[in-house]
Structure 1
């Protein structure tokens, strides 16, 4: 899961309610999240990776996820 807003230059910006969104994601079973810097209190069992821009996000995503995503999009068409 990812929380934040992507700017035109690719930067990942904070949005309101990051802690609330992370708590809800943890309740729904998510275990990892990409967030902009300083996410605040992190729910137990959730691994949060801070990213500054889209480049950071792509570097930390597992290769399997990056490779499978386009195929899934094609299947939905």
Structure 2
């Protein structure tokens, strides 16, 4: 993990296309602005994890449903 110290209005560059700017510092919170191509999906970590879990659950349901349908077709 790379750890950087930044001040208000400082920017971090990731590759050619992504910039992260410190917009505000308020107590124990900071506000970040992210400039990236529309093709780059940006999520808070907890939202990303929820999406991954929901996708995994949906995939498991689909497999279970396919197995059930195959069992009915075999009879």
TM over 0.5: no
> TM-score when scaled to structure 2?
0.23
RCO (CA 8 Å, sep 6+): is it higher in 1 or 2? 1
> TM-score when scaled to structure 1?
0.23
- Higher gyration radius (CA): 2
